[in-house]
Structure 1
Amino acid sequence: MKATTARGTIEAGDVGEGRPVVLLHALALSGRLFDPIAAEWAPRRRVITPDARGHGGSDWDGRPFTGEDMADDVAALIETLVGGPADVIGMSMGGSTAVLLAQRRPDLVARLVLADATADYGPDRVQTWAERAEKAVNVPREKQVDFQIDRWFSPSFVEANADEVRRVCDIFVVTDSAAHAAACHALGTVAAVGELGTISAPTLVMVGDEDYATPPAMAEQLAAGIPDSRLEVLTATRHLSLIQRPDVWPEIEKHLDA
């Protein structure tokens, strides 16, 4: 569905009924990443899966944007579709967006899950993400896939779940390269560690122990800084933990329902 918000038109999946939960996807993917979770949870809750600006079917004017811009986009979507607070789950880029959302609009975040995420990619973040942005536009998308798969999933998962890996790769390949690059630059702007203590939503922080995109130390920093939070490190798991580990979905639901 297309949602017309105060921040522009945002494409979002919207299935199920009940307490709303908004799932924010990783870089260069889309809300379709969470289709398996949405199908599992729809009988029990309303699942909203927006596309970040320039990703999937969401609009983008081609201008640079920041992490705060992405957070404000989500705030506008929640206000438009829900009208009040929602549970929020963010993975990778979506996790950084969720951190900023919870800091900027605590009134819109009831309970929070941060998976494979960070509030700051470190002192070299601007340069690092500028280099990633350059590759996003200069390397053909199909030739970026092997690099992404190695970051996203453990080898054992790739071997045993070829269809699911292919599904995620198909989303990546059709993502606009310019939007991918712009989002890279946006991640380089995220520097929100100092404000973690302002997050009031009860928070579950999850990370794969093999995640080298956002290593466990980044998750530890989140859990140490957010007052009402709990950290869980998932064994033999890489960057897209919520896709690789459907066995943790019930634990996430338990956190949301607490």
Structure 2
Amino acid sequence: MIERHVQASGGMIHARADGEAREDRPWIMLSNSLASDLSMWDGQIPLLTRGYRVLRYDTRGHGRSAVAKGTTGIPDLAADAVAVMDAFGIAACTVMGLSLGGMTALQLALSHPRRIERLVCCDAFAETPAPAQAMWDERIAAVGRGGMDAILAGTLERWLSPAFRAAQPATTEKVAAMIRATPVAGYQACAAAIKTLALLPHLSRIACPAHFVVGERDAGSTPAVMQAMAEKVAGARLAVVPGSGHLPNIDNAAGFEAAVAPFLSLD
């Protein structure tokens, strides 16, 4: 394991690499969701390190990464990811992102196509219509008034199914702690970036092999929304993780790994 703090345009980004350091071992980079940190991927590290060196980082304003000054856009988040790749000497890699991380992965494939070998986009969307923009305004205001606890219950309900929360209270509390630990300013800046998302008309330009994954019960990035996204990318397919909410890699880890393993040549 190697940890580094990488200087990016918005400040220092905390990054971590796992897996056997061999020249013939390809890299996969993981990008986390809003209100989480790189530990959200802990459960997938045993699978991924079977075939990859795994690079994770905390999105700006999350985890141990700095809160950037000024406004943040999705292209800024993609630029941060490129800075992390550069710091580890990675010319190109597979990228897998979930929710905000999935949006970042889409932006990377569009604006830095030579750096992305394959793309896995999970539980994301590619544009934010006006009604959804108003919802983000409400969440931004809520955390401003009451801190991250103001959105904690609703976030857990969207992320994890009732069955999982009942059966796995310790893991649910770990996820809750991750949400609470997110700096309010970091959350607000990235939520404001999501409001500006407008990638849907451009998805047909994605040239690398792409795979889309979504939780069956995700109420925001629904299977129908992600199927429409996948249909815009040549050769892409959608895998649905049974019974899962917005964080299928935690809510149904086995189902999630079954959905991504064949595409990543790990089956």
TM-score by length of 1: 0.94
CA contact (8 A) 2:28 2:54 kept: yes
- Choose the corresponding residue for 1:16, options 5, 11, 19: 19
Select the residue among 110, 114, 118 that pairs with 1:107: 114
CA offsets, 1:88-122, max 9 Å, x none? 11101111111111100011111111111111122
Match in the other structure for 2:49: 42
TM-score (norm 2): 0.91
| Cα distance in 1 for residues equivalent to 2:63 and 2:209 | 30
What letter matches 1:252 in structure 2? V
2:261 to 237, 253, 256: 253
What does 1:43-58 correspond to in 2, within 5 Å? 43-58=50-65
The Cα of 1:251 is off from its aligned counterpart by 4.0
Q: Distance between the aligned counterparts of 2:192 and 2:147, measured in 1?
A: 19
Residue 61 of structure 1 aligns with an amino acid whose one-letter code is A
- Bigger drift between 70-79 and 36-45 goes to 36-45
Contact 1:62 1:179 in 2 (8 A): no
TM superposition shift of 1:179: 0.8
Residue 74 (structure 2) pairs with residue 67 (structure 1): yes
Match of 1:4 in 2: 6
1:26 maps to 33
Taking the aligned partners of 1:217 and 1:123, their CA distance within structure 2 comes to: 19
- How do residues 168-207 of structure 1 correspond to structure 2 at under 5 angstroms? 168-207=175-214
Partner of 2:229: 222
> What is the correspondence of 1:86-235 to structure 2 with a 5 Å cutoff?
86-235=93-242
Say if 1:96 and 1:250 are closer, same or farther in 2 by CA, change over 3 A: same
Residue 264 of structure 2 aligns to a residue whose secondary structure is: helix
Question: How far 1:43 sits from its partner (Å)?
Answer: 4.2
Tell me the matched-pair count.
Answer: 258
Q: Give structure 1 stretches of 5+ with no counterpart.
A: none
Contact 1:223 1:231 in 2 (8 A): yes
Distance 2:72 2:217 in 1: 30
Q: Structure 1: how far apart are the matches of 2:80 and 2:229?
A: 22
